[in-house]
Amino acid sequence: MTTTTTTAATPVAPSRGALRPLGLGEIEITGGFWAERQAVNATRTLAHIEHWLEREGWIGNFDAAAAGTLGARTGREFSDSEVYKLLEAMAWEIGRSNDADLDRRYTALVHRVSLAQEPDGYLNTAFGRPGQGDRYSDLEWGHELYCYGHLFQAAVARLRTRPSADDGLVDVARRAADHVVAVFGPDGRVAVCGHAEIEPALAELGRATGESRYVEQAALFVARRGTGTLGDIEYGRGYYQDDVPVREATVLRGHAVRANYLAAGAVDVAVETDDSELLTALTTQWENTVARRTYITGGQGSHHLDESFGEDFVLPPDRAYSETCAGVGSIMFSWRLLLAQGLSRYADLIERTLYNVVATSPSHDGTSFYYTNTLHQRRPGTVPATDVAVPRASSSMRAPWFAVSCCPPNVARTLASLASYVATTDDDGLQLHQYAPARIRTVLPNGRPIAVDVETGYPHDGVVRVTVVDSDDEPWTLRMRVPSWAAGATLRTPDGVRPVPVGSVSVRRTFAAGDVVELMLPVGPRLSVADPRIDAVRGCVAVESGPLVLAVESVDLGESGVSADVADVRLDAAVPLHVVDGRVVATLGLERSTDEPWPYALHEAATSGATAEVPLVEYHDWANRGPSTMRVWIPLV
């Protein structure tokens, strides 16, 4: 097998950087936590999304546009993008599993989309027709360039997984991209889109097609952002990051999805244009955002009003917005920095976000989703009807579809391409960033073949075993990430067992087929407290286990006899946690809550003295047993 940077079947393929990503042809997740979710995604979620896109008429909008009969259009102004996200997810899934039926459905859908494109390349069902707004007349809210972005990402997915397929989406994307360059290029209109997304997409389309004009256009959009070309709306220009130029900003702010998509695209531009100043600014933004504006789950965004980041340390668990798509965007941003710089911290955040945001959104059967991801549910949620789209944040249980339904296809495209985020190579060897049972058959950039298999029960078991299947007889380096929480990790190599520091561990040797390297990560339960400036969780602890955030869920309390209300529980940090039948069990005390006429007084807490052994739930798995209350942060006794 040979591969080059430009043909790897991977979402992000920079032309330079510390690490080279593996394509879906080089790595396969063969079992475990993520393989299960990829299977559900393939067998249930993709069809579910396709069904709802048809049912809501969002695909039909393309048919009507092609037929010239588009009257009362259905869906929000950006609903085209959900069709593109589905196409991207389908393309990755076809690349992953070679599903012939899915390929037929994909091709048919591409055909319907392509018929709606206008002769000059413009493609959007919400603008430009009688009764609609003019093209690009509402860049603040119209989302036309955002929609192109998802179209381009879908085309990149197809181009990289089926480079010889002649099914048209790549041509549609190129025509649209040429149109964008013509309208918004160096001599065109000085403007950006209210919702960033075209920036990383144009960069990637440029990389995938070799068309440097697309990368240059991405650079132009990044450079214009923050110069006030968009209107000053009620939320302020910070909402769409048009308040401060990207290279001058110090932290992510405004709408959390927009902010992450923009940052991801800006990394692409910084890498392709070798702009170290811009890359340094983005690195600072990432650091400050992680240190001050990120939930323990990896979730981002605490304002419901504008789906935005709050100020530093404003991270209330019960008002967490933590939009699923912001998690996807955060992974996009971190992954690009990881490829550029090679630092484990980026993979740490990706892991945390995958397990506690991306995995939290879909239900077990992959047909209902969280749009937002609260860390504290105070009242049992309501089960949404299965046949009605709900407002984006109105339901407290997972819902089948939303009026704004970005999250389901965003999860789908992430899961379908997930293998590509597991490992990378450089001339010196192989780097493992995420731990899952996997089969890796790759060739280093300098042409040396490497084949390894990974076996692990992670995240529930901390042993990660790497077996070399094939290697030449020159030394190379196997680098394995040691998560920041994994103090006390050890490594077993053919030379013996040794302790390893957090960050990463490298084993450089002349490997032979059959050689085994085992990383032992301490995934037992641990307590975490928050920076005291995160006022909303003062006096509380969170229980974590490996990369998993745990929670108390009321369905487990009911059986304890202690209380059915998570408002009542207290944890004594001096009492050890233990594991029973694979579940972490906490000894929780009970404080009886009674109403006072006025709830502010000098009063003593009425601790009952009763305790109970309560199994905790993995946060991603909550609300799968019916309506319940839940909390991640548990008050200390």
Rule CB under 8 A: which residues touch its own copies? 234, 236, 287-288, 290-292, 294, 296, 303-305, 310-314, 316-319, 345, 348, 376, 378-379, 391, 394, 403, 484, 526-540, 542, 567, 591, 593, 595-603, 605, 633, 635
Of residues 473 and 603, the one with the C-beta less far from its own copies: 603
Of residues 1 and 305, the one with the C-beta less far from its own copies: 305
Is the sign of the CA dihedral 567, 573, 575, 581 positive or negative? positive
Nearest approach, Cβ of residue 553 and its own copies (Å): 17
Of residues 307 and 455, the one with the C-beta less far from its own copies: 307
The stretches of 71-227 forming alpha helices (DSSP H) are 80-97, 100-114, 144-161, 169-184, 198-209, 212-224
Instruction: Report residue 460 as tokens.
Output: 């529930």
Nearest approach, Cβ of residue 434 and its own copies (Å): 18
Give the three-class secondary structure for 574: coil
Of residues 151 and 486, the one with the C-beta less far from its own copies: 486
**Count of CB atoms within 10 A of residue 266's CB?**
32
**Count of CB atoms within 10 A of residue 497's CB?**
11
Of residues 24 and 562, the one with the C-beta less far from its own copies: 562
Nearest approach, Cβ of residue 402 and its own copies (Å): 11
Note whether 325 and 307 are within 8 A (CB).
Answer: no
Nearest approach, Cβ of residue 305 and its own copies (Å): 4
Of residues 168 and 381, the one with the C-beta less far from its own copies: 381
Nearest approach, Cβ of residue 534 and its own copies (Å): 6
Burial of 576 (0-12, 13-18, 19+ CB in 10 A): exposed
Q: CA 223 from chain center: how many Å?
A: 25
Of residues 31 and 380, the one with the C-beta less far from its own copies: 380
User: Could you tell me which of 108, 130, 13 has the C-alpha nearest to residue 62?
Assistant: 108
* Residue for token pair 């487990």: 556
Q: CA-CA distances (angstroms) from residue 72 to 3, 116, 131, 398?
A: 48, 16, 9, 29
Nearest approach, Cβ of residue 605 and its own copies (Å): 6
Of residues 122 and 309, the one with the C-beta less far from its own copies: 309
Of residues 212 and 394, the one with the C-beta less far from its own copies: 394
Nearest approach, Cβ of residue 66 and its own copies (Å): 31
End-to-end Cα, the chain, rounded Å: 59
Nearest approach, Cβ of residue 537 and its own copies (Å): 8
DSSP 211-228: -HHHHHHHHHHHHHTTSS
**Cis before residue 615, ω within 30 degrees of 0?**
no
Note whether 478 and 423 are within 8 A (CB).
Answer: no
User: Could you tell me which of 165, 175, 166, 159 has the C-alpha nearest to residue 207?
Assistant: 159
479 forms bridges with which residues in the sheet? 431, 506
Nearest approach, Cβ of residue 542 and its own copies (Å): 7
Nearest approach, Cβ of residue 326 and its own copies (Å): 16
- Give the Cα separation of 36 and 479 in Å (integer): 26
Of residues 131 and 598, the one with the C-beta less far from its own copies: 598
Burial of 474 (0-12, 13-18, 19+ CB in 10 A): exposed
